[in-house]
Amino acid sequence: MKVTILAIGKCKKNSPEAAIINEYAKRSSWDIIIKEKDNSSQDDEAKFLQSSIPHNAKVIVLDERGDNLKSLELADKIKNWQLNGCSEICFLIGGADGHLQSTRDKADLILSFGKLTLPHMLMRAVLSEQIYRLQTIISGHPYHRE
């Protein structure tokens, strides 16, 4: 599985968040690619996100208005996508003002990580861990425990 994370805001190379992101990417057997763009206008951010979505990828938009799924539920959804021929997923992390409706309209899933507001770099670290967790659930690895 190839996973692309499209994110607004650039992560500093030697930051604690970058270390966490790199650690989970290294652990994962999935190919994880991160593309980022500096904060700008919401329209420019939307253009970057929408134009960078890989062809045929399932799109998961991170948005506070989305579905708040358990890791097992999200893993089941991704496993079903895989069984139906999906080989690439793309996660979209918007800027400080969130996503435009035109970006949410591109989603195969709008996903919320809860009602809390998290700093963008910390959200990337949390997402990286969840991607690793999803991969281990799907592969039957004991990392995830209920």
Closest to 11 measured CA to CA, from 127, 124, 129: 124
Q: Identify which has the larger pLDDT, 118 or 77.
A: 77
- How do residues 7-38 score in pLDDT, each as one tens digit? 999 999 999 999 999 999 999 999 999 999 99
For residue 146, pLDDT beyond 70: no
Supply 122's token pair: 């910390």
Domain ranges, ordered by start, for the chain = 2-139
Give the range among 39-43, 46-50, 126-130 with minimum mean pLDDT: 39-43
Supply 119's token pair: 């700093």
**pLDDT score recorded for residue 115:** 86
Cβ atoms within 10 Å of 80's Cβ, excluding its own:
10
HEC assignment per residue over 11-34: CCCCCHHHHHHHHHHHHCCCEEEE
- How do residues 48-104 score in pLDDT, each as one tens digit? 999 999 999 999 999 999 999 999 999 999 999 999 999 999 999 999 899 999 999
Half-sphere exposure of 145 (CA within 13 A, CB side): 1
Q: Which fold has domain 2-139?
A: Alpha/beta knot (3.40.1280)
Closest to 53 measured CA to CA, from 93, 112, 10: 93
**pLDDT score recorded for residue 51:** 98
Q: Identify which has the larger pLDDT, 107 or 117.
A: 107
Distance CA 37, CA 31 (A): 20
Confidence of residue 125 (pLDDT cuts 50, 70, 90): very high
Supply 76's token pair: 């089941």
